Structure 1
Amino acid sequence: MTVQPIPFPQTSAQVHFDRHELGAILGLYGRFVAAGEWRDYGISALRDVAVFAVFQRTAERPLYRIEKRPKLRAKRQQYAVIAQDGQVLRRGDDLRTVLRVLERKLIRAIE
């Protein structure tokens, strides 16, 4: 008599930021916190997208969303920085390059 494995429902794979991506994002986040510009963040891992949302106050809408969409890798638009109003500030294949749009805002905030 052979034992049949019990079929488990397939869980949908979620998109996540890896350790290097989170390191780059949290490094930028820490600099903005030190400058007094940002105060909170939230991370969402969904089926098609991973989102790092940045808040000035916890109860508000996010100031910026940093999104990772692996399905857009072929178009070289895997990462995006999106403003509060929904405007895409920068899109690209290299996360550090995409995050530079926010680093420019940090330089203005410190001056």
Structure 2
Amino acid sequence: MTATVTPFPLRGSSQVGFDRAELTRILDLYGRMVAAGHWKDYAIQLGRDAAVFAAFRRAAERPEFRVEKRPSLRNRQGMWALVNEAGAVLKRGHELGPVLAPVERRLMKLVED
């Protein structure tokens, strides 16, 4: 009897994901936007090329913002991108904080009203 060993695919090689610090930063912003009454739902998509966090005003529409992590762009424009509802890239960079800044500024305006 011959035993067949099938190697378990490594997480790093098969899909891109968010690490704990990145996801904490994104979910913190999401929670503040929910508390302000602006966002209602979110979705996370993990793929071979990118990890995407999408925030929705209502569950049945396109996401208002998407935060995309594309490690293949790390040495070029930066692996982080903030994409609006129409698909236009609003901000791109090497660090997550500055990429989330436009949404955080919007949150400040919501609190001031």
TM over 0.5: yes
The match for 2:18 is 17
Amino acid at match of 2:26: I
Amino acid at match of 1:63: E
TM-score scaled by length of structure 2: 0.88
Instruction: Work out the CA distance in 1 between the residues paired with 2:9 and 2:57.
Output: 38
The match for 2:36 is 35
The match for 2:97 is 96
Residues 1:59 and 2:71 are matched in the alignment: no
Moved segments of 4+, more than 6 Å:
none
How many residue pairs align between the two structures?
109
Instruction: Work out the CA distance in 2 between the residues paired with 1:4 and 1:92.
Output: 48
TM-score scaled by length of structure 1: 0.89
- List alignment gaps of at least 5 residues for structure 2: none
Amino acid at match of 1:92: G
Instruction: Work out the CA distance in 1 between the residues paired with 2:59 and 2:35.
Output: 17
Q: CA deviation at 1:71?
A: 0.4
Amino acid at match of 2:110: A
Q: CA deviation at 1:4?
A: 7.2
Amino acid at match of 2:65: Y
- List alignment gaps of at least 5 residues for structure 1: none
Give me the identity figure in percent.
50
The match for 1:86 is 87
**Do the aligned partners of residues 9 and 18 (structure 1) sit closer, same or farther apart at CA in structure 2, a change above 3 Å counting?**
closer
Q: CA deviation at 1:6?
A: 3.8
Once the two structures are superposed, residues 8-43 of structure 1 have per-residue CA deviations (whole angstroms, 9 ceiling, x without a partner) of 596761000000000100010111001000010000
Instruction: Work out the CA distance in 1 between the residues paired with 2:48 and 2:15.
Output: 4
